[in-house]
Amino acid sequence: MLVLIAAHAVLAAVLPFLERWYGRGVWAVAAAVPAATFLWAVVHAPAVLDDRVVHEQLTWAPALELTVDLRLDALALLLVGIVSGVGALVMIYSGRYTSEGHGRESALLVAFAGAMVGLVTADNLLVLYVFWELTTIVSFLLIAGRGRTTEHRRAAEQALITTAAGGLAMLLGFVLLGETAGTYRLSELLADPPGGGYVTIAVVLVLLGAFTKAAQMPLHAWLPAAMVAPTPVSAFLHAAAMVKAGVYLVARFAPSFAAVPPWQALVLVVGSVSLIVGAWQALREHDLKRVLAYGTISELGLLIILLGHGSRTAALAGATILLAHATFKSALFLVTGTIEKLTGTRDMRRLSGLGRRQPWLVAVAVISAASMSGVPPLVGFVGHEAAFEAFLHPDGFDGAYHGWVLAALFLGSVLTVAYSVRYLWGAFADRPGVEQVRADGREPWLLGPITVLAAGSVTLGVGYPLTEALTEPYADTLRSGGETYHLALWHGFTFVLALSVAALALGVLFFRINRLVRRQRLRLPDVPTAQEVYWRGMDSLMAGAVRLTRRTQVGSLPVYLTVLLATFVVLPGGAVLWAATRGEVPLSRPPLWDTTIELPLGAIVLTGAAALVGARHRLTAVLLAGAVGYGVAGLFLLHGAPDLALAQFLIETLTLIVIVLVLRGLPADLGPRHTSPRTVALRAALACTAGAFVGLLSLVISSARNDSSPVAEEMIRRVKETGSHNVVNAIIVDFRAGDTFGEISVLMVAAIGAAALLGYHRATSRDEPGRPAVALPEHKRSLMLEIVVRLLFPCVLVLSVYLLFSGHLRPGGGFAGGLVAALAFALRYLMGGRDDRSFAGPLDARVVAGSGLALAGAAGLAPLLFGRAPLSSVVADWQLPVFGHVEFATSLAFDVGVYLVVAGVGMLLISAAGPAQEPGGGRGVGDAPGGGDAVERDGRRYNRHEDDRAPRLSVVRRGRTGGRSGR
C-alpha cells in the first residue's frame, strides 16, 4: 500500500514533464498506476474477504510515536477497487476527451487517486485527516482548472471552503476520540470504542465532516457548482471518489458508534432530506450534468441512511448500492461528456434526435439509468430491494422511525426513476420544435470506458453471488437481530418486490405529469436556494471582517503596542498573580550587583532608556536605543556569556546601520505629538506596569532556577563528543541543530518578505543588457572612506571566517561570523551604494542565503545515508604533515550553512534599506525635475531638496497626458 501511494505521488510529479514527449499519451501512462492498484486489490481480495487483514506500517518519528499505519480490510478493499478501477477508466476516457493541459490534468487526477487510496486504507486518525485534506486541495485545483473564468474560480473556492471547514470539524472530533480512547489507531479505537460526554460531541463533529464531503443538505451547494469542472473530473471526483469519502467515513464508524444517541437521528434525518430534496431538484434542472449532480446528492443521502443505520441488512444494501453507484453514475457522467463532445451542448432544451444517430451511446445510457432506477436484473435493483428489506424488517431494531424512513426510501425511489427517465428523454429523444443535432461520428475511445462501466452494472446484478461476496464481509461486522438476509434477483412475490414495481411505475407516471407539477410549482413564492444562502453568508462574513478590521487595524503603532502590552500584562500577569495568592511563586532577593563595573553599565542602560522617552529626533532615538543594547551586551559579558555578548554587539551594530539607512528616507523629526493628557497618562501607566511585570517575572524565573540542572550538566559533560570546547556552539549546531535550522529558515523568509516590502531588486547590467551598473555620484563619495573600506573589507571578511571556524573552541560560530560578514558588506554599501559592483560583486544576496539554507539542510540529512540519525555529527582526527594534529567535526558544514544564511540575510536587508535615496533604485522611484531624487508617498510623488538640513518635500503633479509640473 505504501508503495502504491508513493507510485501515485511520483507519477503525478513526472506527468507534466512527460507531456512534452507523449502529448495525449500521458493519459495512458497515468492510467497505469490506478490499473496496477486495481489488479493489486484483486490479488489480495480472497485473503481480505476471508478476514485476513493486510497491515503496513511506516515509522515516521519514533520519539513522538508518529507512524503511518495502513490497513486493508473488506471495506477498504471495496473502496480501493472503486477508486482505482473507475479512475483507470476515466483516465483512458480523458485521453480522447481532453483537448489541452494533458500533463497538468492527468497529474492531478493521479494525485487524487493516490490520496483516496491513502484515505480509505489509513489506520490512524491523523493520517486519515492528512489524506482527507489532500483530496480537498487536489479537488480545488481540478475544479478551478487554469482559473480562466470567474465561474471556475468561485466554484473551486466554494468547494474548498465548505469541505475544508467540515474537515476541521472532523479533525476536532478525531482529537476528542483519540484522547478519550488513549489511541489514534483507528482499528483499536473501533474495536474498543470509548464512552462519555466527549464521545457524543466527537461523533457529531465527525458526521459534520462526512456530510460536507458527501454534499448532504444543507451543505450540498458546492457539488452542483462544481459541475463547471471537466466531465471526467466530475465522473471521478463527484461520482466515484471524493464524495464517497464522506460515505466511507460513516461506514467506517457505524459498527462502533451507531448506538451513540445522536448518530442515528443525524444520519437518518439528513440522509432522508438529501434523498428526497436532491431528487426533486434534479427534476427542475436542464443541464444534464446538474441533473446528475442533484441525483448524486440524492443517492449519497440513500447511502448515508443505509451505511449509517447500524444494522447488517442496511449495511449490505449500502455496500451494494455503493458499488452500483460507482458504475452507473460514472457511466452517466461520461455519457454526458460524450454528448457535449459530439454536439457542443449539455442543455436538454437544445438536444433533439441524438438517439437515432448514436444507438450505442443510447444503449449504455439506458443500462446505466435503469440500474440507477432499480430495474432488474441490474445491480441497482439488487441494492434497492435490500434497502427496502432493511427497514421493512429492521433486524430486531426497535423504533417508530423505521416506517418514516421506509416511506422516504420509497418516495426517493419514485423521484429517482422520474429524473432518470427525464435524463434519457432530454438527452436522446426527438423534441418537437427543436433542431435536430448533428452527431454522426463514432468515438470508440470515449465509448469504450462507458461500455465497461455499463457492463459492470449488468455483471454485478446478474452475478449477485459475486456482489454478495464483495459486500457481505463488511456487513457481517454489524449486528443482526433477525434472519440473515442474502442478495438475490428473486425472493418471490414479496411486499419488497411490490414496492420496487410500484416505485418504477409511479416514477414513470410522475415524469409524465412533471410539466404540470412544474407549472404549479412556479406559482409558489421563491425561496432562496442553498447557493444564494452560501454567497449571502460569505458576503456577510466579508462585510463583518471589513468592519472588524476598520476598528482593529487602525494604522497606529501606539495602538498596536498598547494592545500587545496589555495582553502581555493581563494573561501572564494574571497567571503569576494567581500563583502568588496560592504561595506557589518562588521569589528571592538577588544582590543588586556582583561587581562595581556593572554600575556604569546599568547607568548607561537606564539613562538611555529614560532619554529615549523624550527624544524628538529619529536618529537620536536610534542611537539611544543602540546605547541600551550595547549596555545590555556589556552586562552579558560580565555575567560570563561571551557568545551572547558578541552576538548582541554585532546585532546592535547591524541593526543600527539598517535603521539609519531607512531613516534617510524619513523626516529628521518625529513630528508634533497631538496626544491628550489622558492618553499620555494611560501609556505611561501601561509602560510602567509592563516594565514592572517584566522585572518581577525575571526575579521569579531566576528564583525558580535550580543550580543543579541535570540537562546543563549533561551538555557540559558530553560537549567533547561533538569535537567542541564551546558548549554554546555545540548546543546551536549539534544538540539543538533542529531548532537552529528552523530559526534560520524563519530568518530567511522574514528577510525576503522585508526586502520585498522595501522594493528590493538587483539592478545590474545583467538585469538590463547594455545598462552599466550605477554607483553613487562623485559628489556623494568620500575618498578617505573608500581607502579605509578597501583596506578593512578583506580584513573583516577574514575575521568573519575566523569566527566561523573558531566557534567550536572559543566564542564565535556561524551566526557571529555571518553577522561580521554582513557588516563588511555594510561598509562596502556605505562606500559605493547598492548598485555599485563593489558592494557585492557577482554575489546575489538571495543566492547566498538560499545556498546556506540548502547546505544546512543537506548537512542535517547526510547522516541518514550512513544509517545515523539526522543532524548528528561525527568527529574525525587527522595527523597532517604540515598542520600537525587536526580535529574536524562534520557539524562544521551545518555551521557554514548558518554563516551563509546570516551573511546573505544581512546583505539583503542592507541592499534593500533606503533605496529611494539612490539613483534608479527602489520601486516607484525615479528622477524628478527640480534637481532632487523622487520619492512616493500616499499615491503622490515628491522631490527631495538636498540643500536643506531637513528634507523638504514638494508635490510633483501628474497631468492627464502624463506630463509633470513642479510646484
pLDDT tens sequence across 156-209: 888 899 999 999 999 999 999 988 888 888 888 988 888 777 889 999 999 999
For the segment 499-519, the average pLDDT, to the nearest whole number, is: 84
pLDDT digits (tens, 9 = 90+) for 31-64: 999 999 999 999 999 998 888 888 888 877 666 6
Cα separation of 910 and 826, whole Å? 7
Q: What is the pLDDT of residue 945?
A: 39
Q: Cell for 331?
A: 457511466
889 falls in which pLDDT band (50, 70, 90)?
Answer: confident
Cis amide linkage into residue 218, ω under 30° from 0: yes
Q: List the alpha helices (DSSP H) in 98-149.
A: 102-121, 125-144
Do the Cβ atoms of 942 and 935 come closer than 8 Å?
A: yes
pLDDT at 290 over 80: yes
Helix axes 401-428, 312-343, angle to 10 degrees: 20
For the segment 287-291, the average pLDDT, to the nearest whole number, is: 90
Report helix, strand or coil for 659. helix
Cα separation of 376 and 370, whole Å? 8
Q: List the alpha helices (DSSP H) in 182-230.
A: 186-191, 197-213, 222-225
Q: What is the pLDDT of residue 866?
A: 78
pLDDT at 957 over 80: no
Cα separation of 393 and 550, whole Å? 61
DSSP type of residue 436: P
Q: What is the pLDDT of residue 927?
A: 36
Contacts 24+ apart (CB under 8 A), 520-527: 521/284
The conformational region for residue 820 under phi > 0 = left, psi -120 to 50 = alpha, else beta, is alpha
367 falls in which pLDDT band (50, 70, 90)?
Answer: very high
Residue listed under C-alpha cell 461520428: 441
Nearest to 829 by CA among 778, 783, 791, 793: 793
Q: Report, in angstroms and rounded to the nearest whole number, the Rg of the chain calculated over CA atoms.
A: 36
Q: What is the pLDDT of residue 615?
A: 83
pLDDT at 566 over 60: yes
For the segment 874-893, the average pLDDT, to the nearest whole number, is: 75
Residue listed under C-alpha cell 547546505: 855
Please enumerate in sequence order all residues whose Cβ is within 8 A of that of 638, keeping only pairs 6 or more positions apart, or say none: 594, 595, 597, 598, 601
Do the Cβ atoms of 832 and 776 come closer than 8 Å?
A: yes
Cα separation of 330 and 83, whole Å? 11
Please enumerate in sequence order all residues whose Cβ is within 8 A of that of 464, keeping only pairs 6 or more positions apart, or say none: 379, 382, 487, 488, 489
CA distances from 836 to 618, 844, 908 (A): 28, 13, 15
Q: What is the pLDDT of residue 135?
A: 92
pLDDT at 397 over 80: no
Which DSSP string corresponds to 878-934? EEETTTEEEEEETHHHHHHHHHHHHHHHHHHHHHHSSGGGSTT-STT--B-TTSSBE
Q: Cell for 366?
A: 439506458
pLDDT at 772 over 70: no
% of the chain exceeding 70 in pLDDT: 85
Which DSSP string corresponds to 691-724? HHHHHHHHHHHHHH--SS-HHHHHHHHHGGGGT-
923 falls in which pLDDT band (50, 70, 90)?
Answer: very low
Cα separation of 43 and 52, whole Å? 13
Report helix, strand or coil for 86. helix
Q: How many angstroms separate the most distant Cα atoms in the chain?
A: 109
% of the chain exceeding 90 in pLDDT: 25
Q: What is the pLDDT of residue 933?
A: 43
pLDDT at 730 over 70: yes
Tell me how many degrees the CA angle 26-29-30 measures, rounded to the nearest 5: 85
931 falls in which pLDDT band (50, 70, 90)?
Answer: very low
The neighbour count for residue 865, using CB atoms within 10 Å, is 7
Q: What is the pLDDT of residue 302?
A: 93
554 vs 819, higher pLDDT: 819
Q: What is the pLDDT of residue 43?
A: 92
Please classify residue 138 by burial: count the beta carbons closer than 10 Å to its beta carbon, then call 0-12 exposed, 13-18 middle and 19+ buried: buried
Average pLDDT, the chain: 81
Do the Cβ atoms of 271 and 301 come closer than 8 Å?
A: yes
Q: Which of 381-395, 432-446, 667-681 has the highest mean pLDDT?
A: 381-395
pLDDT digits (tens, 9 = 90+) for 253-286: 998 888 888 888 899 999 999 999 999 888 888 8
Strand (E) positions, 283-429? none
228 falls in which pLDDT band (50, 70, 90)?
Answer: confident
Cα separation of 825 and 838, whole Å? 9
Cα separation of 912 and 762, whole Å? 9
Q: List the alpha helices (DSSP H) in 283-311.
A: 288-309
pLDDT at 519 over 80: no
> Which one-letter amino acid corresponds to residue 642?
P
CA 721 to chain centre: 41
pLDDT at 552 over 60: yes
Q: What is the pLDDT of residue 950?
A: 38
Do the Cβ atoms of 649 and 658 come closer than 8 Å?
A: no
> Which one-letter amino acid corresponds to residue 455?
A
pLDDT at 668 over 70: yes
Nearest to 744 by CA among 534, 522, 896: 896
- Residue burial 546-571, b: 16+ Cβ < 10 Å; e: rest: eeeeeeeeeeeeeeeebeebeeebee
pTM here? 0.72
Cis amide linkage into residue 881, ω under 30° from 0: no
For the segment 122-145, the average pLDDT, to the nearest whole number, is: 90
